[in-house]
Amino acid sequence: MRIDPARLNASEQLRRSTRQRRAKMLVWHAIIYAVMISLACVFMLPIFWMASTSLKLPRELMAWPPEWIPSNPQWGNYAEAFGKYPLARYMLNSAILVIANIVGALLSAPVIAYGFARFNFPFKNVLFILMLSMMMVPGHIKLIPLYVLYLRLDLIDTYWPLILPAYFGSPFFIFLMTQFMRTIPRELDDAARIDGAGPWSILYRIIIPLCRPALTVVVVFTFLWTWNDFLEPIIFLRDYDSFPISVGLAFFQGRYSIEWHLFMGATLVSIIPILVVYFFAQRHLIGGLAAIGIKG
């Protein structure tokens, strides 16, 4: 069998150009990685510095030049921080608020959304638009009347002001759940109805089990928002022991001269629950944000 020299040449050229393209791509990837890694380092610097500080000795805080990675990490600082600041107490308070708010959001949003998504009644569209427009109302406008109301009801310095609203449905979650329920085929409801199921058993047996992605978004967002909430707790709570972690940390920073190596440890500990939830749920978080960004 003879080999055509022209053909050999062509395949050789092809191989060479593929090799060239691959080399070009490799360089391109290297550049992008270099850019991304340096950007990531810049972005993580404040967090890295917090972690590094939390492991230093007090005298190393002011050392010049500073030590980037403590040569002798003081893990005992964390135990000391927990002893010095009531961190465990504050985090427990935050956890109580988070759980109470998640229960409220899970009880209210699916039921209300079910009404919007599945039934027809007079003024439904007006009510839906009214609800959506409440998403645009900044929360600060409501603070004074609610404060006065809670004062009259003797609810200041209790957790009720921080918990109750969740049980009446947040517009954002109602909207999210309504949009999601609309994508569930109505044939499923009809089939269940023929089998004799009432509207509520359809909701709890058929629809809610199919809403898991949306419910995950509700849980994750409620967690993040409640854990990070600051303005409402500082207004509605007074007793130091009842503070959630965000207010507790700010309180210590404002009132005492800070031992920064302990305090940075405390701050780092305060964001760990957020980071854990974020790492496990980021797919849902981003999906939920995106769904709202695009459809909203």
**Residues within window 96-115 making contact with another protein, judged by CB under 8 A:** 108, 111-112, 114-115
Stretch that binds another protein, among 8-16, 70-78, 128-136, 184-192 (CB under 8 A): 128-136
Report phi then psi at 106, rounded to 5: -75, -30
114: CB partners within 8 A, 6+ apart? 181, 203, 207
111 vs 109: CA distance, rounded Å: 6
Which single residue is written with the structure tokens 């800070």?
258
Of the two residues 84 and 118, which places its CB atom closer to another protein in the complex?
118
Among 1, 187, 254, 257, interactor with another protein by CB under 8 A = 254
For residue 293, state whether it binds another protein (rule: CB under 8 A): yes
Of the two residues 7 and 68, which places its CB atom closer to another protein in the complex?
68
135 vs 93: CA distance, rounded Å: 27
- Taking CB under 8 A as the criterion, which residues in 171-230 touch another protein? 174, 199, 224, 227-228, 230
99 vs 80: CA distance, rounded Å: 28
CA angle 177, 179, 180 (to 5 degrees): 60
For residue 167, state whether it binds another protein (rule: CB under 8 A): yes
Count of residues binding another protein (CB under 8 A)? 86
Rounded (10°) CA dihedral 157, 162, 164, 165 = 140
Q: Taking CB under 8 A as the rule, which mask of x and - marks residues 39-78 in contact with another protein?
A: xx--xxxxx-xx--x-------xx--xx------------
Work out how close the CB of 219 gets to another protein at its nearest, in angstroms, rounded to a whole number: 14
Rounded (10°) CA dihedral 156, 143, 230, 179 = 120
Of the two residues 8 and 290, which places its CB atom closer to another protein in the complex?
290
Of the two residues 10 and 151, which places its CB atom closer to another protein in the complex?
151
For residue 278, state whether it binds another protein (rule: CB under 8 A): yes
